[in-house]
Structure 1
């Protein structure tokens, strides 16, 4: 069977969008972009064949722990600010393998940084380093998969929303602000065309918020809180304290202020890079925009925080791939 798959392998999470044959709907999934080679025994014992976000992977004679079973402090990349490495290759192949059956023929689209995409040679080199052509043999949580990549495509990151919602951009000047796990990537679009020299990247993703809240929680309670706990506190808007209501209320104020200040920092970054935020339309995507939606809308009442914001890129890439294939078939 032919499969159409999009993989948005970010520095924090790997998102996958897959075209379902029934109803032309999209299935979505994600897992943390963490990879450790030669995992220890605790990793090997922590997963089974039904793992959804943690995987033991065998590929090309090497063994990796991938996803939430890979400790973020131990997981590696060849360059922490680069995506051209084994981490993103393995994460991408795992994402594909979870969405296919044996002997499937796969058409895949991935993203790459805008500055890399602008150079044809560099983007092709990136594509080939992440996605091999031809047959892929990979074992994930003890289940062997083999499939064949018959078409591969690379598109610029943060611009997936252009393909899925053209109406937001036609005849308009629009700033796209993609709030990811580690970074904020931003670009200005003029009537569906990228404005040269408008793009920038700043380390203002949701991890900065998590780190600030973690520091506050650890200092307040003289303890060490897990990422799971910190994310739960942020979602609910306060640090649960069953014995001290005043301290819980103080945490509510701190988290609210932290979220507001983070939006202010993003605004300052835009201004630093010469953006005129007063007089342009704004579209926010990325998982961080969900977390910050209330603060974003308070600062910019006319802004758009897109639906399924965490999957805006992978969904858009998939739509582009399907449209391209349909046009090629019809032509």
Structure 2
């Protein structure tokens, strides 16, 4: 039975297999119709899920902005990731979910059962698939780093700040052991940063900005006008990143004494705000390949649990 790990985030889906395969694609979709029937291009796949057809990945246009992970988009992303890892037949998977879902046994089981329930039909790029999630283990999104970077946790009390696409997950680990009362999820991921950018830049430049414009501003380090990044926008963007980090840390400090423990920061958004993090939380430690930390940790768990 093939063992895989999947972290289907709001921004991107990351997946690894025990055999060394690796997959990354955007968690976006477009439902196709008789008047809109195209082939997938770029880092995308054309998927038939039961009776409907979708484009999943980079070419998709719809993003799920909700806090929930037990959605059709995320289920299709997880199944598509399994296909792209070469899975056929029965597989065992460790799948990440927000901490607030993980803490509820009922919600955790509902998510697990939904993934295990096979669609009546699942076709990818014209090929009928037989993918059966026989065994599924659900893990909190902030926990992967504990299994990939044990040296940061042994004999220590460590707060983990996981900055994702939609959510910020936090948890305290005492000598590798999670403290349940410390585990929490807020909607302070990179989508919150995009909201801050939209508010500031629309007022500053007096023009409406679509979601794709916001992504370009982040990618380019400022707003591009006539092919060049506007210098003042770079300063404004850096200020937004700092304000964002200050908000996240201030909210956490209301509940937890961050200055009295080691801090480890993970997640793709942490790369974006790296300089602000170093300024606001000087003792925070970032890990290498931080975007892959959670899913890599999940895979290590799967290798042990599914032996």
Q: TM-score, normalising length from structure 1?
A: 0.82
**Shift in Å, 1:312:** 1.6
Provide the residue aligned with 2:262 in structure 1: 281
Aligned match of 1:241 = 225
Match of 2:54 in 1: 64
Q: Which whole-Å deviations, capped at 9, do the CAs of 1:241-288 have from their partners, x for residues lacking one?
A: 35998xx2221211111111111001111022x111111111111111
Residue pair 1:35, 1:66 contacting (<8 A) in 2 also: yes
Q: Report the 3-state secondary structure (helix = DSSP H, G, I; strand = E; otherwise coil) of the residue aligned with 1:149.
A: strand
- 1:255 corresponds, among 223, 237, 255, to 237
In 2, are the aligned partners of 1:202 and 1:269 still within 8 Å (CA)? Answer: no
CA shift, 1:76, in A, is 6.0
Structure 1 pair 167/26, CA: closer, same or farther in 2 (3 Å)? farther
Structure 2 residue aligned with 1:163: 147
Matches within 5 A, 1:66-81: 66-72=56-62, 80-81=66-67
Match of residue 4 from structure 1: 3
State how many pairs are aligned.
Answer: 307
CA spacing shift, 1:107–1:174, aligned 2, 3 Å: same
* Cα displacement string for residues 152-201 of structure 1 (whole angstroms, at most 9, x for unaligned residues): 22222211111222211111111111111112111111111122321222
For 2:253, the equivalent position in structure 1 comes to 271
Cα deviation for residue 8 of structure 1 reads 1.0
Instruction: Give matches, 1:69-108, under 5 Å.
Output: 69-72=59-62, 80-100=66-86, 103-108=88-93
Alignment partner, residue 110 of structure 1: 95
Which of the numbers 197, 206, 209 marks the counterpart of 2:181? 197
1:308 corresponds to 2:293? no
Match of 1:129 among 105, 114, 121: 114
User: Structure 1 pair 310/76, CA: closer, same or farther in 2 (3 Å)?
Assistant: closer
2:131 equivalent to 1:147: yes
Q: Which runs of 5+ in 1 are unaligned?
A: none
Q: What is the CA–CA distance in structure 1 between the aligned matches of 2:14 and 2:251, rounded to whole Å?
A: 26
Change (3 A) 1:222 1:322: same
Q: Deviation at 1:107? A: 2.0
Structure 2: which 5+ runs fail to align? none
Higher relative contact order (CA 8 A, sep 6+): 2
Task: Evaluate the alpha carbon distance shift between residue 122 and residue 181 of structure 1 in structure 2; reply closer, same or farther with a 3 A threshold.
Answer: closer
Residues 184 and 204 of structure 1 are in contact (CA less than 8 Å); yes or no, is this contact kept in structure 2? yes
CA contact (8 A) 2:16 2:85 kept: no
